[in-house]
Amino acid sequence: MSKIIQTILLTLIGAACFSGGIYYGIERNEHYLESVMEEYEVISNKVDAFEKVSDPKTIRLYVKELNKILDEILFLGYIVETGQIADEALTGFFETYQNKFDSVNDRILELNKEHMESVNKFNSQIAGLSADEDDLFEITEELQKRLQEQSDYISKLNVEISQSVKQLEDNVQTIKSSKYGNKIWKIKK
């Protein structure tokens, strides 16, 4: 009888230890899963923010606005040519800025391509989140650095264009004030 009681007690103690071990393992896995989900949310938020910045619709809008500015500059060039100003200077001016616009457009397309590659890479790396977490943060920092460099470049280009447009406006005003300019404006009115 005592062997039966001992066997029952050992079985109960074993079952209790087994249940405690399972409970401890489940709790530990829940904590690990919570930390992984928090890391996933942080990375997901960063990817969403990056997608908003480099959205193809936004890039197309920028290209469209740059083309409008170029058209306006070309129209001003036509006005200056009708005032019989040396068109060689204007041709050089437009070639210079067309090359800059082409450079900006190429850079935007290149960034968009890099963005799409990065998004694809992010999607594949999210599956292996715990192993590749450090690589994702480095890539995100590099992309942020590149975006900042591109933003600085575009800001610099905008300043140069504004200065050139101001100079062109001054030239147009000089033309208006000249003898030929007054004749043109009188004919136009």
Q: What is the pLDDT of residues 144-168, one digit of tens each?
A: 888 888 888 888 888 888 888 889 8
Please tell me whether residue 1 adopts helix, strand or coil conformation: coil
- In the structure encoding, which two tokens stand for residue 180, read together? 């030929």
pLDDT of residue 127: 62
pLDDT of residue 49: 72
Q: With both helix axes pointing from N to C terminus, report the angle between 129-177 and 2-53 in degrees, rounded to the nearest 10.
A: 10
CA 124 to each of CA 35, 117, 129, 132, 139: distance values in angstroms, whole numbers, following the listed order: 20, 11, 9, 10, 14
pLDDT of residue 130: 57
Integer Cα distance of 104 and 116 in angstroms? 18
pLDDT of residue 80: 60
Answer for the pair 177, 85: CB distance below 8 angstroms, yes or no: no
Please tell me whether residue 54 adopts helix, strand or coil conformation: coil
Integer Cα distance of 75 and 67 in angstroms? 12
pLDDT of residue 189: 55
* CA Rg value for the chain: 33
Answer for the pair 122, 136: CB distance below 8 angstroms, yes or no: yes
pLDDT in tens, the chain (189 residues): 788 888 888 898 888 888 888 888 888 888 888 988 898 888 888 877 777 667 777 777 777 888 888 888 887 777 665 655 555 665 766 677 777 777 777 887 887 888 788 878 777 766 665 555 666 678 788 888 888 888 888 888 888 888 888 898 888 778 777 777 666 666 655
Integer Cα distance of 186 and 173 in angstroms? 15
pLDDT of residue 76: 76
